[in-house]
């Protein structure tokens, strides 16, 4: 099974506010993403590839309303909180947080946990508190995974090493996997590998041998979990990533990196075509 994930980050912000949303008015943005992609994705065999789109919470309802009855698109949230509501327990005292229960109720099938941007936020909070034990981040993410799975959500769990950690990548990634996946149902987890050291303008992208090395390590460490590349999947690396047997898909974000940068449905579909070769 191949997995094509779309992380739409905060691509909903209009240009006049410093964002990159040229796709649709904010109120229609989630629906526009779904409507611009789902019909073309129906040509792919759902037994061979799945398509999950992670949207900011504000857009999940309009995206869910835009899904066709036979849509191949699955919706996901951008992480969940580490605690949840419960019958006979906490019924909603989660101001500012996103419990897995509401994510499920809004129509999501999965969630994205441990993305490098989420990890950076948690690291920053812990650093302010004087905590230098970065395994605490993985323990918090483990709690999120367990809450997500308790609501029946599939999880894309992201791991990755920074430039400062690259020389010790095996221990860093091993800790993220061991702590993050402790006691979870691995049957409903896919690993997303983000080489943080190579992501961003002016940085050298990870090459095929390096990605293959990491994917093999992850599969061995986890007992064979599927691994997707979160570097991410683009038009210019789609063929290379498709040639790596150990990579089971990719994570797409921006589709245009020059000019009017942003996410564009037709470019997203072209990246998928290039990767799948169809």
Nearest to 177 by CA among 149, 137, 150: 137
For helices 135-150 and 116-128, what crossing angle results, to 10°? 120
Helix (H, G, I), strand (E, B) or coil at 119: helix
Residue 251 sits at φ, ψ, to 5 deg, of -110, 120
59 is catalytic: no
Catalytic residue among 3, 115, 118, 144: 115
Q: Are 74 and 51 in contact (CB under 8 A)?
A: yes
194 is catalytic: yes
Q: Please state, in angstroms and rounded to a whole number, the distance separating the CA atoms of residues 102 and 277.
A: 37
DSSP one-letter string for 136-177: HHHHHHHHHHHHHHHTT-EEEEEE---TTTGGGHHHHHHHHH
Query: Which amino acids are annotated catalytic?
Result: 115, 194
């Amino acid at each position: 099974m191949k997995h094509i994930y779309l992380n739409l980050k905060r691509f909903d912000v209009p240009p006049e506010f410093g964002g990159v949303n040229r796709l649709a008015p904010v109120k229609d943005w989630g629906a526009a993403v779904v409507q611009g992609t789902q019909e073309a994705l129906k040509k792919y065999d759902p037994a061979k590839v799945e398509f999950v789109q992670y949207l900011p919470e504000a857009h999940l309802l309009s995206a869910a309303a835009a899904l066709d009855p036979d849509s191949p698109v699955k919706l996901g949230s951008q992480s969940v909180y580490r605690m949840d509501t419960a019958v006979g327990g906490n019924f909603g005292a989660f101001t500012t947080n996103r419990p897995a229960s509401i994510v499920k109720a809004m129509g999501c099938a999965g969630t994205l946990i441990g993305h490098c941007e989420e990890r950076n936020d948690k690291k920053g909070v812990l650093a302010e508190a004087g905590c230098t034990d970065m395994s605490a981040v993985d323990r918090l993410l483990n709690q999120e995974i367990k809450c997500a799975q308790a609501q029946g959500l599939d999880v894309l769990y992201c791991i990755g090493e920074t430039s400062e950690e690259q020389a010790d990548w095996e221990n860093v990634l091993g800790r993220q996997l061991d702590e993050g996946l402790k006691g979870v149902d691995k049957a409903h987890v896919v690993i997303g590998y983000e080489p943080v050291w190579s992501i961003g303008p002016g940085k050298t992208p990870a090459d095929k041998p390096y990605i293959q090395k990491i994917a093999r390590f992850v599969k061995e460490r986890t007992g064979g979990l599927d691994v997707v590349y979160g570097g991410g999947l683009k038009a210019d690396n789609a063929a290379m990533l498709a040639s790596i047997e150990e990579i089971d898909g990719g994570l797409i974000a921006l589709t245009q990196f020059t000019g009017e940068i942003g996410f564009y449905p037709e470019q997203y579909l072209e990246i998928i075509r290039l990767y799948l070769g169809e």
